[in-house]
Amino acid sequence: MKVLIVNTSERTGGAAVAAGRLVEALNNNAVKATMLVRDKQSDEITVVGLPKSWLSRWHFLWERLVIFVRMHFNYSRVFEVDLANAGSDITRLREFREADVIHLHWINQGMLSLKGIRKILKSGKPVVWTMHDLWPATALCHYARGCRHYMSQCRQCPLLPGGGSDHDLSVSVWRRKQTMLAAGTIHFVACSRWLEGEAKKSALLSGQHITSIPNPINTRVYCPQDQAEARRQMGLPVEGRIILFVSQKVTDERKGISYFVEAINQLAGQHPELKADTHIAILGAHADAVASQLALPTHALGYLSDERQIVAVYNAADVFVTPSLEDNLPNTIMESMACGVPCVGFRVGGIPEMIDHRKNGYVAEFRNAADLARGIGWVLTEADRDALRSEALRKVKLSYSQSSVSLRYIELYQQALATKHFKL
């Protein structure tokens, strides 16, 4: 079986990381998988870049320009929505022709257009689409932020100027997506049960095949290491406790950095003794912007691309905190637990599916900084460290290992192929 996995980027973003890990997992389980990307960033032979052309750049720029105009020339939300009004035609590529299954992932920002996806469907090849956020089930947005219009029909989009209208851009894109979906069958996969539930509420995806399969992780790479050595490698204090925060962009409001700052400051106020031997490590771009706001000594590690260093950072930590306000199935939680590090996060999205409360971490009440602080304190000062570590490793092995995830996808591919042959 040959599978073509399609994603905008090879390595940038959580979806790219997850798609790349799935390629590796499938190839390790007797499926020939190739990843097709617009932004190729390595010399991996299993990853193919789109043919070099000025058109690829133009597709991206044209979509952003249209959004910029529709936003009344306000740049602040230009990257919060996607139209898929421009993209490459991949059906002409050899990799497409040779594939038995086409597996879409995150295809925005000029990679594929809705017209291009319609052409893929009309080719007759089975199509699987892994949803890394809600965009395939809405008109414009990747995260609904409390809006529920997608349950009936997108309109009055709160991301558009003035809150949109009954005839705004979201209405026209919704109709274009309906036209696309009418061209053939897509087997949708949500990375979490939470996202599966939200997708099934979408009127756009009514009657579509939707299931949930988590992302995989390579437990030979993300695995426990000697903590003291990991700290020395990353220039972190060898003694004491380390609380870790990770985000591609630390200042991203959706990642909840304000709640992290508030929780840490509450924790330090309630337990002043922690100031002597507890440090914060922040991994991600713009880490310096928040370091001065924290009441505990903070180490801004910046953005890292070296996977060995990232694994060392996780292994250096005693607890990983992820106060996301809306998230699907964060790779960061999976990576942390694979290294045996307990996690603390809010009860939102797919996070409660990953963190088993008081077993491998702590699930705090949503947007409750005080409860987040309690969870961090519980992990650091009360919980059985070895028990948490053992449960974290067990959860990853059972739910997110390459073998378990790839087998579920292989079964889905076989179902998709069988459906295609039955129709023929």
Read off the pLDDT of residues 91-101 as tens digits, 9 standing for 90 and up.
999 999 999 99
Q: How confident is the model at residue 328 (pLDDT cuts 50, 70, 90)?
A: confident
Yes or no: say if 36 and 10 are a contact pair by the CB < 8 Å rule: no
Closest to 248 (Cα-Cα) out of 183, 319, 318, 322: 322
Residue with tokens 């002597």, as numbered in its chain? 276
pTM of the model: 0.89
CA 264 remoteness from chain centre? 25
Indicate if the pLDDT at residue 89 is higher than 80: yes
Amino acid making up residue 200: K
Residue 53: per-residue pLDDT: 85
Yes or no: say if 380 and 356 are a contact pair by the CB < 8 Å rule: no
In whole angstroms, give the CA distance from residue 128 to residue 312.
34
Residue 420: per-residue pLDDT: 67
Pairing between β-strand 298-302 and β-strand 47-49 as defined by DSSP bridges:
unpaired
**208-239: b (≥16 Cβ within 10 Å) or e:** bebebbbbbbbbeebbbbebeebbebbebbee
**Cβ atoms within 10 A of the Cβ of 163, count?**
11
Read off the pLDDT of residues 146-185 as tens digits, 9 standing for 90 and up.
899 999 999 999 999 988 898 999 999 999 999 999 999 9
| Rg value, the chain, Cα | 22
The structure tokens listed for 13 are 């973003």
Residue 421: per-residue pLDDT: 52
- Side by side, the strands of the sheet bearing 101-104 are 47-49, 32-39, 2-9, 101-104, 127-131, 186-190, 209-212
User: Rounded to 5 degrees, what angle do the CA atoms 211, 137, 398 make?
Assistant: 30
In whole angstroms, give the CA distance from residue 415 to residue 6.
20
User: Rounded to 5 degrees, what angle do the CA atoms 50, 55, 56 make?
Assistant: 45
Yes or no: say if 183 and 118 are a contact pair by the CB < 8 Å rule: yes
Yes or no: say if 110 and 60 are a contact pair by the CB < 8 Å rule: yes
Residue 279: per-residue pLDDT: 97
Indicate if the pLDDT at residue 373 is higher than 60: yes
Indicate if the pLDDT at residue 424 is higher than 60: no
User: Quick one: DSSP state of residue 214?
Assistant: P
Read off the pLDDT of residues 338-352 as tens digits, 9 standing for 90 and up.
999 999 999 999 999
**Cβ atoms within 10 A of the Cβ of 349, count?**
23
CA 194, 199, 201, 205: dihedral to nearest 10 degrees? -170
Residue with tokens 């009514």, as numbered in its chain? 206
Longest dimension (CA), the chain: 70
Residue 54: per-residue pLDDT: 85
